[in-house]
């Protein structure tokens, strides 16, 4: 009996050892494949960087993406949510259907980086002529997902299930009066049409070293809502303010009151929150107190309950302060992107995969980010995992300029890690399911 027990233990140890060796071999193989495709990934990235397009206007971008996907032999659909592109890799074998997402739009920013492939593109935004730049790294997202598609297509015989490559437009927000982005893709039914069961997405980070990955369980990026407050008074001559009702002073007090909502009325030990006024508009002359002043701003929250309370407090605060000045406040809150939420079970399962992609020492948990992402609409419908891939110059010679700025810079060496991560997440999730 004792000898039989020893025999079965040896068999178990042997099988575990074989499985562990196979996992190491797979990781090494994917690493080699990511390095092999890297020159092409860099070439794609530079093309998209040089020729960016604004949200819902990514016509040439979509055309190039579709062309590259069809070269891989993938059935490809275009015109989704205006300019989105989706391709499907079907292994022909039973298994899960995994969505991999990249956003594709640029920003109304005039580039001033000294790179040879800097954008010289221009367009019209809100009626003004503007420069256009991939100032948030979406060009790298496109290139990394195309690289992932190339590797997985070559490995088709080893896959089980389907991979849906989603190239999403208008992440930065659709133009005024238009729908767009992930919200429109969900509305058009892509999750049901393609049978997507889980979504993975990544964002390059200019502030994290190339080769690193950062993530967070639960809410990783904030809900983003906007507000408009119209403060209505009574116009009068600037020399006789008592003859009217001054909406300018009321508006100034409202700005201070909004700041007090976060600093004095919100439990910041639970989650972070931000209220910022970005624009104040009113009046025409120095000697006329205007009839109306308009405040425009943003709200960032990481908890749905806090989001609701803050919305209510903005309305109460603005109205009460206006009344105390004899004015009237009209508050409009526009709901934007939800919290980008990493499914707890999915994230815990896939963290070891992220460590395989970047190395255990290069994967870190980070605090929540008060920026927002419309990947959140996908993650509301199916379990999602969203993470950041480092894109900062590892030598420190190039400053880590912030996203959405003219000097924004990404070190291209970080893209290999992004390709490895998306490829391994797909393979490991298939293996688990």
Q: Which pLDDT score, from 0 to 100, does residue 9 have? A: 47
Active site residues: 105, 171
Nearest residue to 262 (alpha-carbon basis) of 250, 247, 277: 277
Nearest residue to 167 (alpha-carbon basis) of 149, 151, 193, 153: 149
Mean pLDDT of 81-86: 98
Mean pLDDT in the chain?
94
Dig out the tokens for 103 from the structure: 């956003």
Q: Which pLDDT score, from 0 to 100, does residue 4 have? A: 58
CA distance 158 to 152: 9
Q: Which pLDDT score, from 0 to 100, does residue 398 have? A: 87
Q: Which pLDDT score, from 0 to 100, does residue 14 have? A: 52
| Confidence check: pLDDT of 64 > 50 | yes
Specify the pairing of strand 328-337 against strand 213-215.
unpaired
* Sequence-separated (6 or more) residues with CB below 8 Å from residue 254: 229, 231, 295, 317, 318, 321, 322, 329
CA distance 111 to 317: 40
Write out the DSSP string of 119-139. ---EEEETTEEEE-B-TTSHH
| Confidence check: pLDDT of 5 > 90 | no
Domains and CATH numbers, the chain: 26-221+339-432 (3.40.630.10), 223-337 (3.30.70.360)
| Confidence check: pLDDT of 25 > 90 | no
Mean pLDDT of 203-210: 97
Residue of 380 and 21 predicted with greater confidence:
380
**Contact call for residues 301 and 335 (beta carbons, < 8 A):** no
CA distance 13 to 21: 12
pLDDT in tens, 297-350: 999 999 989 999 999 999 999 999 999 999 999 999 999 999 999 999 999 999
Torsion sign (Cα): 156, 158, 159, 164? negative
Q: Which pLDDT score, from 0 to 100, does residue 428 have? A: 98
| Confidence check: pLDDT of 366 > 90 | yes
The number of angstroms, rounded, from the C-alpha of 249 to the middle of its chain's C-alpha atoms is 38
Mean pLDDT of 88-102: 98
Name the pTM for this structure: 0.90
Q: Which pLDDT score, from 0 to 100, does residue 1 have? A: 57
Q: Which pLDDT score, from 0 to 100, does residue 248 have? A: 98
Mean pLDDT of 153-165: 98
pLDDT in tens, 223-279: 999 999 999 999 999 999 999 999 999 999 999 999 999 999 999 999 999 999 999
CA distances from 374 to 180, 196, 272, 370 (A): 10, 17, 19, 13
Q: Which pLDDT score, from 0 to 100, does residue 397 have? A: 86
CA distance 261 to 275: 8
**Contact call for residues 117 and 49 (beta carbons, < 8 A):** yes
pLDDT in tens, 96-142: 999 999 999 999 999 999 999 999 999 999 899 999 999 999 999 99
CA distance 285 to 288: 5
CB-side neighbour CA atoms (13 Å) of 208: 22
């Amino acid at each position: 009996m004792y000898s039989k027990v020893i025999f079965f233990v040896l068999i178990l140890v042997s099988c575990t050892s074989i499985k562990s060796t196979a996992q190491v071999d797979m990781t090494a193989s994917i690493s080699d494949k990511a390095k092999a495709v890297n020159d092409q990934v860099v070439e794609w990235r530079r093309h998209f960087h040089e020729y960016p397009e604004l949200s819902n206007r990514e016509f040439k971008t979509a055309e190039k993406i579709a062309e590259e996907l069809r070269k891989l032999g993938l059935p490809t659909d275009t015109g989704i949510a205006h300019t989105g592109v989706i391709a499907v890799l079907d292994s022909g074998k039973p298994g899960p259907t995994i969505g991999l997402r990249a956003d594709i739009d640029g920003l109304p920013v005039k580039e001033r980086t000294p790179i040879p492939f800097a954008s010289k593109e221009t367009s019209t935004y809100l009626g003004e002529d503007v420069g256009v730049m991939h100032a948030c790294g979406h060009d790298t997202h496109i290139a990394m997902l195309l690289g992932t598609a190339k590797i997985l297509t070559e490995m088709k015989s080893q896959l089980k299930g389907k991979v849906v490559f989603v190239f999403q437009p208008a992440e930065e927000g659709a133009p005024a009066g238009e729908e767009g982005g992930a919200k429109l893709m969900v509305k058009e039914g892509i999750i049901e049409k393609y049978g997507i069961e889980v979504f993975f997405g990544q964002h390059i980070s200019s502030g994290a070293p190339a080769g690193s990955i950062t993530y967070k369980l639960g809410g990783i990026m904030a809900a983003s809502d906007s507000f408009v407050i119209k403060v209505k008074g009574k116009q009068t001559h600037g020399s006789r303010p008592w003859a009217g009702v001054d909406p300018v002073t009321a508006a100034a007090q409202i700005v201070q009151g909004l700041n007090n909502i976060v600093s004095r009325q919100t439990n910041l030990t639970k989650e972070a929150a931000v209220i910022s006024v970005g624009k104040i508009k009113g009046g025409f002359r120095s000697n006329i107190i205007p009839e109306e002043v308009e405040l425009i701003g943003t709200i960032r929250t990481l908890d749905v309950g806090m989001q609701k309370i803050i919305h209510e407090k903005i309305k109460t605060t603005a109205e009460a302060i206006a009344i105390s000045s004899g004015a009237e406040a009209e508050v409009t809150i526009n709901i934007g992107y939800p919290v980008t939420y990493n499914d707890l079970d999915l994230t815990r399962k896939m963290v070891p995969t992220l460590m395989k992609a970047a190395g255990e020492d290069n994967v870190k948990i980070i605090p929540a980010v008060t920026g927002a992402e419309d990947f959140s609409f996908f993650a509301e419908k199916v379990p999602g995992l969203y993470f950041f891939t480092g894109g900062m110059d590892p030598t420190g010679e190039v400053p880590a300029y912030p996203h959405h700025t003219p000097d924004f810079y990404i070190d291209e060496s970080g893209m290999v890690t992004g390709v490895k991560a998306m490829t391994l997440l797909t393979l490991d999730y298939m293996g688990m399911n």
